[in-house]
Chain A
């Protein structure tokens, strides 16, 4: 190719110069780049991985709270065959009604009435989970009495309370 015509030199210089981008085009490009960066950051935890993590979290949380609930309310998690029969007996000759009220029946005076079995002897047999039990007798709906055969706990709320420990059945 021959040398360029010197008359074309000014036009060539203009063609070699980088064209100036328009400001709105630059802004669109920057926004597109930012959006792409955000998408890339979101992709660190893909939807399937997030779902798996959530399911695992649900399972762990459920197991933790179930264990805590069972620890807090052990009698609810006790199988029937693990329960022990406990007989409550009170001598109350002139009583018209006697009930045993304690941790095992949510301190409900109506839940466990005793029946008169002899001359002034009242009794009831209750199935309880082995462990600590706090209770008291309620005579005629007004008079609280401790169990004379058990350990007296600290007198709480100005009324007596007994505490007993039910021995778990021995392993065979």
Chain B
């Protein structure tokens, strides 16, 4: 085999590898196995577009599989995937291009819970912290329990500023839940527990050992 033929084959492989996998990623076999051909093709096209925008594909595939599992129509599945793309893109615009998939999903959930993109943007300076996704999980939790978005953001930003760990954000949820069961209003419980965790964080306490 001449050098010219080997070179030609290598170039064909290189081009295939460059342009093929994106198509292959979009053509997730799970979509074709679980959805009708029309819906699978529409979702695959959306996933392909989202990948072009730099958005993660897996949550979109999972959204489509969720729809199939819950007996949704093809139109409803495509609509839900499209909405998730919009939410993920809004979340990424608010937080920055370098946030991970978990943080993006949680930010999208915070938007769903009523936070505005401008409010989310306030957490952007903390995005490189290891516990950033944990902080967003705490934000979603507080908002789901009825703590106003503005107050929730203030508390989470203060906790991120104090460099609390993801385990401490998980502690916040457990402690607030316990206080609420004892009859404390959510906003009051959130404020007192967050402040106590910050104080303990500053004095060297961390994680699940914190029992303010």
Contact = CB atoms under 8 A, between A and B. Distances in A.
B65 interface: yes
Nearest to A142: B71
Interface in A86-139: 101, 103, 106-109, 131-132, 134
A85 interface: no
Given A47-B7, A50-B7, A161 B14 contact: no
A153 B80 CA distance: 14
Contact of A108 (B17, B69, B70, B71): B69
A5 interface: no
A170 interface: yes
B40 to A, nearest CB: 14
B25 A72 contact: yes
B4 A134 contact: no
A167 interface: yes
Interface residues of A, number: 42
Among B7, B67, B80, find the residue whose CB has the most chain A CB atoms closer than 10 A: B7
Nearest to B17: A61
Interface residues of B, number: 51
A134 B65 CA distance: 12
Given A47-B4, A69-B25, A58 B109 contact: no
Interface stretch (B56-64, B117-125, B154-162): B56-64
A101 B11 CA distance: 44
21 contacts: A47-B4, A47-B7, A48-B3, A57-B11, A57-B17, A57-B18, A72-B56, A107-B62, A107-B66, A107-B69, A131-B133, A144-B70, A151-B144, A156-B80, A157-B70, A157-B76, A159-B70, A163-B109, A167-B134, A167-B166, A167-B170
Given A48-B3, A101-B69, A167-B167, 19 more contacts: A47-B7, A54-B10, A54-B14, A58-B10, A58-B14, A62-B17, A65-B25, A69-B21, A69-B25, A107-B70, A151-B140, A151-B141, A156-B70, A158-B70, A164-B137, A165-B136, A167-B134, A167-B170, A170-B165
- 4 tightest CB-CB pairs across the interface, nearest first? A165-B137, A54-B10, A61-B17, A107-B69
Interface of A: 47-48, 50-51, 54-55, 57-58, 61-62, 65, 68-69, 71-74, 101, 103, 106-109, 131-132, 134, 144, 151-154, 156-159, 161, 163-165, 167-168, 170
